[in-house]
Amino acid sequence: MAAASTLPRMLNAKRLMPLGSSVIRTALLTISMTAQFLPLGPAGAQSKEQADLILHRGKVVTLDARNSITSAVIIRDGTIVAVGDESLLDRYVATRTIDLHGRMAMPGFNDAHTHILGESRRYIDLRSVRSIRELQDSVRAKAAQLGTGEWITGYGWAEDNFAEQRLPQRADLDVAAQANPVILMRAGGHSSVSSSRALGIANITRATPQPADGMIERDASGEPTGIIRESAYLVDKFVPVATGDELRPSMVRLLRDQLSFGITSLVMADEESKNWPDWERMYRENPGQLPRAAVQIHWNSEAELRAFGKRSGDGDEWLRVGALKVFVDGGFTGPSAYTLEPYKGLPGFRGTLNRSPEELYQIARTAHAMGWQMGFHTIGDGAIALAVDVFDRVLRESPKADHRNYLNHFSMLPPDATLATMVRDSILVAQQPNFTYTLESRYTQTLDGARLAHNNPVSTPMNRGIVMAFSSDILPTGPMVGLYAAVTRKGKSGAVYGADEAIPMLRALQAYTRGGAILTHEEARKGTIEPGKLADVIVLSADLLTIPPDEILSTKVDLTVLNGRVVLERKP
């Protein structure tokens, strides 16, 4: 904390001295009168309070309770100390002052559901692959690098992006790396494709029964195609486990990459409790350099949770334990999301439940008694209704104020009765509006009518009073896609799905900042630009409140301030 000027300290001494002494009163009066004539230096600089950073001459969208818009922000010791108009510069001087030249500043984005996945030496990043041939080239190159017999893994392919417009098959991988077992996860993580060698190691044949929580796809002759929905573990469990030391450098890089998107806080959506020490080490070794994180812990068993010895909220403002993660159903990229009515064109098929209703209740009851916040994965309306019923039953049996249990995804609009229960029980939502854009083809293939129009509903639950926290689930990571979809309801094709679910940009920004802070019980410290809040601020290349919607996708983050420090600055 910078020292205040000497004169104000002397004047404030009046509060510490007895007032009965005429000598003291006379001395203070002399000091006070003399102060009117003391030279203050250039422009009165000595009278100004010292700050670390000043942002001014901008459009500062505070997202506070009044949705105030100001022009200047004063930052000191990682905290916002003042927000207002340009007159603040008459009161403060800073080590660095940045003229925003009218650009929009706002609180940093809070991605309330994302995945930071370390990359082992076996890993291929397939997010930019645009054909099966390119996928094969990537696999072939990795096989040459690793050598015969080594496992190859990867993530990020999507058939929608392929020139061939079809799913990859085991035969495609066999051509590229016949001597290597290969398993590649689809974008979103709900499907995988494996090579013949990998399927052989996992002993998956035409005789293998279907898993209870997924599906092994088969061709017309009954042979596995290589595609496995939701149950990639059937093959993945045979991949040699990468060490924390192997994964840590890429995880640190990926965490730092979030800052380029203006993401200053995030929720890691699923992590094993055994990996918590790796997170602690990353944040200990990179102080102030990584976005603030809450880490959801995957439910495996009560014994494991008790051995972990922590619960939701443990930690500090940089790294804390998040909610308990439980998968209720799958996803539409499988597809295996659990729905109340059959899928379009698939009579009788409603997806899959990963756990029975009674098992879900027992997990929720145990976690609730242990003091855990719960964040259940629910995509289909059937899974949403079931999870809400489970939460409601547990809360009725053992009421708990401010529990902040929530649903991850909420990709379908559930029945009115379910929405009413959510309002009554204050159940929150961590949703990905970007899915309407990115997964458009999945919804058009599996949903119809009102179910399609209301995919990833936003306006309806918000208007009922349900708190929504926006997030990306890395499809893609950048918040601009989610904001664009939330305000336009457009898919990649330009088609509009349920225009009545669109919301104004200001409301979308609140969900992508303050919403995430509410989810993790941190709204008193972040999510808005107000005095006393953490100094996590971003500056954008365009004014999201005034530009045409089609320009949202091309908007960039020019500046990211984390804890009062400029950690990213994009040059024009």
At 56, the pLDDT band (50, 70, 90 cuts) reads very high
pLDDT at 379: 97
CATH of the domain at 98: 2.30.40.10
In terms of domains, do 435 and 496 share one? yes
433 lies in some domain: yes
Write the pLDDT tens digit of every residue in 400-448.
999 999 999 999 999 999 999 999 999 999 999 999 999 999 999 999 9
In terms of domains, do 358 and 330 share one? yes
Counting DSSP H helices and E strands in the chain, the numbers are 19, 24
Show the beta-strand stretches assigned E in 86-206. 92-99, 104-107, 109-114, 123-125, 152-157, 182-186, 191-194
340 lies in some domain: yes
Partners of 267 in the β-ladder: 294
pLDDT at 334: 74
474 lies in some domain: yes
CA dihedral (494, 500, 502, 505) positive or negative: positive
112 lies in some domain: no
d(CA 407, CA 376): 5
pLDDT at 212: 83
CA dihedral (186, 490, 261, 557) positive or negative: positive
The single-letter code of the amino acid at 104 is M
Write the pLDDT tens digit of every residue in 110-127.
999 999 989 999 999 999
Predicted TM-score of the model (pTM) = 0.86
**Residue showing tokens 């904001």:** 483
Query: 477 and 127 in contact (C-beta within 8 Å)?
Result: no
114 lies in some domain: no
DSSP string, 426-468: T-EEEE-TTHHHHTHHHHHHH--HHHHHTSS--HHHHHTT--E
pLDDT at 190: 85
Tell me: pLDDT of 28 over 50: no
Last residue of a domain, one of 488, 508, 526: 526
**In terms of DSSP bridges, do strands 292-298 and 49-56 run parallel, antiparallel, or are they unpaired?**
unpaired
**Closest Cα to residue 91, out of 39, 141, 54?**
54
DSSP string, 501-545: G---HHHHHHHTTHHHHHHTT-TTTSSS--TTSB--EEEESS-TT
Query: CB count, 10 Å around CB of 95?
Result: 11
In terms of domains, do 317 and 455 share one? yes
Which helix (H) or strand (E) is 13 found in, with range? none
Q: What's the Cα-to-Cα distance from 164 to each of 102, 158, 174, 552, 570, rounded to whole Å? A: 46, 11, 18, 30, 37
pLDDT at 45: 52
Write the pLDDT tens digit of every residue in 448-459.
999 999 999 999
* Average pLDDT score over residue span 346-374: 96
In terms of domains, do 281 and 375 share one? yes
Q: What is the mean pLDDT of the chain?
A: 91
115 lies in some domain: no
Structural domains of the chain, count: 4
The boundaries of the domain holding residue 543 are 48-107+528-572
In terms of domains, do 496 and 535 share one? no
